[in-house]
Amino acid sequence: MVMSIGSVVADSAGEANGWPSVGFSAGTRSIETQALASNRVATFVLLAHPIGLRGRLRQPIADQKGLMRVFIISHFGGIALACLVAGPPVLARGSDQNRGDPFPSATPQAVVDVEARIFPAVVRLDVAQEIYSEGKRTVRRGIGSGVIIDDEGRILTNFHVAGRAAEIDVTLFNKERVPAHLVGDDHWTDLAVVQMDMDHIREKKIEFKHAELGESKTLITGQDVMAIGTPFGLARTMTLGIVSNNERTFYPEQMQIDEYETGNFSNWIQMDTPINPGNSGGPLVDLTGKVVGINTRGGGQNLNFAIPIDTAKEVIHQILASAKPDKKGRVDRSDLGIDLKPLQDLETFYDIDINRGVLVNSVDRNSPAERAGVLTQDILLDINDKPINVRFPEEIAAARKFIADLPIGSDVRLTLKRGKQTIHVTARTQKLQGAVGEEKEFKVWGVSVREVTRAYANEQQLDDDQGVVVTTLNPGYPAAKAELEPGDVIRSVNQEPITDLDEFKKLYDASVKAADPAVLLDIQRGRGRQSAVLKVTY
């Protein structure tokens, strides 16, 4: 049910003398395209005009069925991705908060103080992201925001701003430009860590400050917060608002960035602080100037969303711990292959105590849970004898995170209620994989392909995860001329079966080396198989 709408505005002309001159080209056109990794339709609306974009932002957020538009607030080549989130807003439950504690409020002096503290730590990021298009690896340029988190020059931002970055340029508060590189990223939480070139900083004697990371779980609904960032390329923009809700969930919608799943393991801070495309990755701060969230999505009007800093702190830690000079840092998680569903209003039906257990709504094929014998409609009560309770949708993310935090490859004891019986099964966790597998370009054939992951195979109802899936095609090249289509799974090359991307690469290299004039592919399209012949000239 996820739909993405990408609003592409012409790239801003970049910063001259500190102030951005935002240039937009004229003309508006729209295309429709089928999302590759899903059978849901994704509509990309190209809006090459500021009026068009602003018009879109002003759209009413709720249409007749309670649909709400949420867009990612990057300014990417300037792509702003939006998700349509269906369903009526869930009732906000008050979190445990001590209303007696005073919190710093937005007096004029406090606002000015915060400005002085946080501005030197907020940066503008000009990023070239590595993407695949027309069968080739290429880059997509965009603008976002970030916040410096330590004196070693590390920057926290969004995955959708700096994830997959090939080149990054940082502009500091004092308008100095510093080259930077990606340390690691995590699409599940939409976060990325970037490192400024410290040699450059020392050599040029550039000054910067870092922000202090606060705590998000103690945020109180109604508390004043400020957002700092680069909306529409307008660097160092500060806006003020309040926390509207500290545990927003979009359950059951699956949000996406391009085709990457996101938002599964944490709730959102909802605030009415105005943010716009380009604010993405910038800090949301409280009135002591501490960072409490990373501004990530806008819903138009006054519904905006930030990733809680508590989530970000864990992700930063794991990215830094796993990053090596030649390898990007990442966050590894465990997976059981269970779709959990809140039990609200179903307690009587399943004859369970209120606030106990979580419904096993669906079990993925070939997953650890399936192998362990977990069945749809079981009630999952405990994992390793620790209770797992999900009554409300707001509690889903924490339950998913509990599973994700289990050691990978470990045996876990699941306590299940099935009908009137309570049973125990043991499942071995597996490393969580998204639907988007590793991607490579194959220039001679004019095609880019991806590894078929278990998640992708499940989503597309493929029989297994063998083969590689076609993502993009270069018109006029052999693969396009052989009428391959995005979504086709290549199962064999010259009758040699393809298990994974490495195998495909090997056969491709061999074929190109031998200058094969004709290559026979076995293609799976939908349920059927068919042959395709690539006619290659060298």
Residues serving a catalytic function are 160, 190, 280
> Do 146 and 125 contact (CB within 8 A), yes or no?
yes
Closer residue to other proteins (CB): 148 or 360: 360
Q: Determine the residue type at 179.
A: P
| Contact set for other proteins, span 443-462 (CB under 8 A) | 458-459, 461
Closer residue to other proteins (CB): 102 or 528: 528
| CA 332 to the chain's CA centroid | 15
Residue span binding other proteins (CB under 8 A) among the ranges 129-137, 241-249, 405-413, 479-487: 479-487
Q: Are strands 3-8 and 41-46 parallel, antiparallel or unpaired?
A: parallel
> Do 153 and 198 contact (CB within 8 A), yes or no?
yes
Nearest alpha carbon to residue 131 among 176, 90, 164, 99:
164
Closer residue to other proteins (CB): 108 or 528: 528
User: 353: burial class by Cβ within 10 Å (0-12, 13-18, 19+)?
Assistant: exposed
Residue span binding other proteins (CB under 8 A) among the ranges 93-101, 141-149, 171-179, 526-534: 526-534
Residue span binding other proteins (CB under 8 A) among the ranges 27-35, 95-103, 434-442, 529-537: 529-537
For residue 516, how many other CB atoms are within 10 A of its CB?
17
Interaction between residue 240 and other proteins (CB under 8 A): no
**Residue 423 vs residues 134, 332, 413: alpha-carbon distances, Å:** 52, 29, 10
CB of 253 to other proteins, least distance (A): 12
Q: Are strands 283-285 and 41-46 parallel, antiparallel or unpaired?
A: unpaired
Q: Hey, CA dihedral for 472, 473, 479, 481, is it positive or negative? A: positive
Interaction between residue 527 and other proteins (CB under 8 A): yes
Three-state DSSP at 212 gives: coil
CB of 507 to other proteins, least distance (A): 17
Peptide bond before 252: cis, by omega within 30 degrees of 0?
yes
Nearest alpha carbon to residue 437 among 457, 459, 453, 460:
453
End-to-end CA distance of the chain: 44
Closer residue to other proteins (CB): 407 or 526: 526
| Contact set for other proteins, span 409-438 (CB under 8 A) | 419
Residues 482-511, one symbol each (x = binds other proteins by CB under 8 A, - = not), give xx----------------------------
CB of 392 to other proteins, least distance (A): 15
Residues 377-406, one symbol each (x = binds other proteins by CB under 8 A, - = not), give x-----------------------------
Closer residue to other proteins (CB): 3 or 123: 3
Interaction between residue 58 and other proteins (CB under 8 A): no
- DSSP letter string, 142-162: EEEEEEE-STT-EEEE-HHHH
Nearest alpha carbon to residue 232 among 166, 118, 121, 145:
145
Residues 8-47, one symbol each (x = binds other proteins by CB under 8 A, - = not), give -------------------------------x--------
CB of 519 to other proteins, least distance (A): 9
Closer residue to other proteins (CB): 93 or 535: 535
> Do 263 and 255 contact (CB within 8 A), yes or no?
yes
Of 376, 384, 410, 426, the one binding other proteins (CB under 8 A) is 376
What is the binding site for other proteins (CB under 8 A)?
A: 39, 339, 341, 345-346, 349, 359, 361-364, 376-377, 419, 458-459, 461, 463, 481-483, 518, 520, 522, 525-533, 535
